[in-house]
Copies of this chain bind each other. A is one copy, B any other.
Amino acid sequence: MADDRLSRVFAALADPTRRDIVARLAVEDATVGELAAPYDVSVQAVSKHLKVLEDAGLVSRTKDAQRRPCHLEAEVFDLMTKWIERYRRQAEERFRRLDAVLAEMDDEEDHDSTSRPVRHTEQRGAAS
């Protein structure tokens, strides 16, 4: 399930081990064995993680004798950033408009506080 590119990228980064691998590959390319060393899991498990990252387009592997050095493909980050920024901007713009409307409502009917809907700013405070 979730076989589109964006889903694969988000799913790949949903695992802390894989995010750590990405963080280390941002510093320098590395082989499977080098990447596996600090973790308390088998090399095969790390190889599976790398396959997930590779399928998501976050990592590419080249052939160098029997070694398979891994390289971070940072361009894929753009895909996520674009998606995130789009909806964040959309949501924030809506909040600004709503704030303006509510400010007007306050001015016009601040004598009738019981029938007025809950301010969205109060709702937003609900989640810590």
A94 touches B15 (CB 8 A): no
Q: Which of A25, A57, A80, A84 is the most central at the interface, judged by chain B CB atoms within 10 Å of its CB?
A: A84
Contact B94 A26, beta carbon cutoff 8 Å = yes
**Most B C-beta atoms less than 10 A away, residue of A26, A29, A71, A85:** A26
Instruction: Flag if A62 contacts B118 (CB, 8 Å).
Output: yes
Q: Once the chains are docked, how many angstroms separate the CA of A90 from the CA of B72? A: 11
Chain B residues positioned under 8 Å from A85 (CB to CB): 77, 81
Q: How far is the CB of A92 from chain B (nearest CB, A)?
A: 6
Interface residues on A, range: 35 or more
A65 adjacent to chain B (CB < 8 Å):
no
When chains A and B are docked, how far (Å) is the Cα of A102 from the Cα of B112?
A: 72
Q: Is A91 an interface residue (CB 8 A)?
A: yes
Q: Within 8 Å CB of A60, what residues of B?
A: 123-124, 126-127
The 9 closest A-B pairs by CB, nearest first: A11-B14, A10-B14, A60-B127, A74-B91, A26-B87, A26-B90, A77-B88, A26-B91, A10-B13
